[in-house]
Amino acid sequence: MAATLVLLTCACQPPTATTGVATTQQSPSIFQSKPAAAEPPKSDPTEIVRVICHYSPWPWLSFDVEGNPDPEGFGVVVYLASSQTGKGVFTEGQLHVEMYRWQGAGKDRARERVCDWTQPLEKLPRAKRETVQGWAYAPQFYWGDADVLGRDIDVVISYLSPSGRVVRAVTKPLRVPARRTT
């Protein structure tokens, strides 16, 4: 699943220097296909009880307008599950994403935060129709010059309610592909 993406997009518009956020990408999916039905009503932020993230088998994105195929970011589909229905809903608040790089080996192995993004939910791309799992957001993230190619990373995605309550998704371990260009 993809979307008219905001928290970083491929090729169309590069992310801004201050936020790592761009505005549009075109991909076939529920986010682009049929005309949108009426916008679903927003849910109360206090009813978000779970953050469910779906990563494609190849979540890597290149934002290089000159055609460098090395990854510079990743995409994910995020459902904010309501206590009322158990399905993804649109609501108020922010999405907070942290990316950690693993370094060292054995007992000296340590995690270091290399990227940190926070974006208001109303600025994120949204599904144009509901799936079996509900309504989804589909942000993409640009890590810029962070040294992660060929490395293990962890991605931690959290929902921040307007009242400050935090609901975290399960940490996602990923291995970033090694550099393909010289």
Overall pTM > 0.75 = yes
CB 170 within 8 A of CB 100: no
Question: Any idea where the domains of the chain sit in the sequence?
Answer: 45-175
Strand-pair partners of 53: 78
CB 84 within 8 A of CB 93: no
Tell me the range of 18-22, 32-36, 136-140 where mean pLDDT is highest. Answer: 136-140
**Structure confidence by residue, pLDDT tens digits, 104-119:** 888 889 999 999 999 9
In CATH, what number does 45-175 get?
A: 2.60.40.2550
Q: For residue 23, what pLDDT is reported? A: 36
Give residue for tokens 């399905």.
87
